[in-house]
Amino acid sequence: MRGKLMLVAGLAVGYVLGSRAGRERYDQIARAADSFWHSRPVQRQMHQAGDLARDKAPDVVDFVSDNVKRAMRKSQAKKRAARSRRASSNGVSPQSASN
């Protein structure tokens, strides 16, 4: 209950402070953020990050694919071992248990 009251109080304080700042301050902050986002250094870094992602994407796909295949083989081996143990404890041969 105390957490809910703190949340409501925080929202109320944020609303009051936000409404006092008004639309002009919001517009000023929005213009500054837009100016920053479209600045040459930020855009240069964004393009470099995009290029890096495109260059590394095939490596990431191979890495994930190899690990998924390895996990599947491991899971299947565990499943076969469990089936074999279950069959041997029931006195049934492992070949007939898998059918």
DSSP state of 93: -
Across all residues in the chain, what is the average pLDDT? 84
Separation between Cα atoms, residue 94 and residue 91, nearest integer Å: 9
pLDDT at residue 14 in the model:
80
Q: How confident is the model at residue 72 (pLDDT cuts 50, 70, 90)?
A: very high
- Domain chopping of the chain, boundaries: 2-91
Q: What pLDDT score does 18 carry?
A: 74
pTM: 0.44
pLDDT of the residue at 49: 93
- Asked if the model's pLDDT at residue 91 lies above 90, the reply is no
Contact 33, 39 (CB under 8 A): no
For the chain, the first-to-last Cα distance in angstroms comes to 57
In this predicted model, what pLDDT tens digit does every residue of 11-30 receive, in sequence order? 877 876 776 667 777 788 78
Beta-carbon contacts of 87 under 8 Å, excluding residues fewer than 6 positions away, are 93, 94, 96, 97, 98
- Rounded Cα distance between 3 and 39, Å, is 41
Q: Which amino acid is located at 75 in the chain?
A: S
Identify the band that residue 7 occupies on the pLDDT scale cut at 50, 70 and 90.
confident
Task: Give 65's pLDDT tier (boundaries 50, 70, 90).
Answer: very high
Strands (E), the chain: none
Q: Quick one: tokens of 49?
A: 């990050």
